[in-house]
Amino acid sequence: EAQVTQNPRYLITVTGKKLTVTCSQNMNHEYMSWYRQDPGLGLRQIYYSMNVEVTDKGDVPEGYKVSRKEKRNFPLILESPSPNQTSLYFCASSFGNPRSSYNSPLHFGNGTRLTVT
């Protein structure tokens, strides 16, 4: 089954303790991205990647790192989490550039609810 798999679904941690949220897709998609969703602010893009070893900042990259060593995986790393990073996180992928006029619908993971105390 074609899917984007995020883990974990729920994570409670403490300030400063490094964590990684994994994201994997089995559709051979080139584009992968991370978003956070907060009440009243909607979805905001953190980082995206157009291909292996190619990553770019989105609108809210501060405090996050990503890597794209393999096409299928795009982990989100919080080196020193802070309470303002408490949020619902989504990973998504698409075949090509979602800004292009070609048909590249986004496929989303189920989300990771992160709480930093």
Q: What residues line the site for another protein (CB under 8 A)?
A: 31, 33, 35, 40-45, 48, 50, 56, 58-59, 88, 90, 92, 97-101, 103-108, 110-111
Long-range Cβ contacts of 49-55 (<8 Å, 24+ apart):
49/74, 50/97
Of 15 and 110, which CB lies nearer to another protein in the complex structure?
A: 110
Of 64 and 90, which CB lies nearer to another protein in the complex structure?
A: 90
What's the min distance (Å) between Cβ of 70 and another protein? 19
| Measured distance CA(32)–CA(26) in Å, rounded | 12
SS3 115: strand
What's the min distance (Å) between Cβ of 11 and another protein? 15
Token match 């105390």: residue? 117
What's the min distance (Å) between Cβ of 106 and another protein? 5
**Bridge-partner residues for 12, per DSSP?**
115
